Amino acid sequence: MKALYDVAAPAKLNLFLHITGRRADGYHLLQSAFMLIDWCDTLHFEPRADGIISREDLHGIATQEFAAPAALPVDDLVVRAARALQSTTGCTLGAHIGLCKRIPQQAGMGGGSSDAASCLLALNRLWQLNLPLAQLQAIGLRLGADVPFFLAGRNAWVEGIGEKITALCLPPARFRVVKPAAGLDTSRIFAAPALRRDTQTATISGFAVMPSNEMFGFGRNDLQPVAQALCPQVTQALQWLASLGLSPRMTGSGSAVFAKLVDASQTSDSAGLPALWQVRDCSNLEVHPLFGWAS
């Protein structure tokens, strides 16, 4: 295989995020429903015979709606994923990776983890390694807790520290997503003394049988109050969505917020939002665009 171009890496939204406890080693126990959406980064892969992993940022042109993203670190999750796959398999091939970054950073949308997952799937195919999904997920878990979810390729009920993943069927819907200019550091939120860590556990069986209007409004995001205290722009984004008659909440550790659209034909409008904020209407995905790339 000569190259792989236009490889998608979709973002996710947390329909809810409950912190149910904390382990002795400091890791937090959570429950969440992860949902894939059609806001995607794009990656391109060309093989190298010299074993070197190189990466090029393909930002594209900034528009009035979207500012060009900041340059990625040299040793980002994509590069680390490629090197981890090399190390695990002993593969002597390298790759030049082009990354067009569209998913906002520090948003709670899993962009970096999704890029890493798509990198593992693509290079497993490009290098003809033929590793099964379970082995790729073991590599992915060392890179980040969300990477195995993106590798699995389905919407999911997620528990534990993020490693317990159960496929979940969600009805089709559209969502308005707002990313303020400011980002949030996940570690600061989880370290906050005010973070609630005692939410009662729910069951996937109870969640899965809910009507869609209840399913998309279930629970809350336990990280949201701390995030709002750290980043006033989160509150401003929530208030803007609420002013449209929507029921918003934050995704992940923020700072992006979202709300299910009542009228799916309604188009996005950023009127009233500050400059450099991003707003996009997204559809959820039934499966990941690369679903089935690993057995």
Please list the active-site residues. Answer: 12, 146
Token pair in block for residue 276: 């450099």
Query: Taking Cα atoms as reference points, which of 101, 64, 110, 71 lies closest to residue 277?
Result: 64
- What would you report as the CA-atom Rg of the chain, rounded to the nearest whole angstrom? 19
Q: What angle do CA 290, 128, 12 make, to 5 degrees?
A: 20
| CA count, 13 A, side-chain hemisphere, 6 | 0
Query: Strand 28-48 and strand 53-57: pairing?
Result: unpaired
Token pair in block for residue 224: 């949201």
Query: Strand 94-100 and strand 53-57: pairing?
Result: parallel
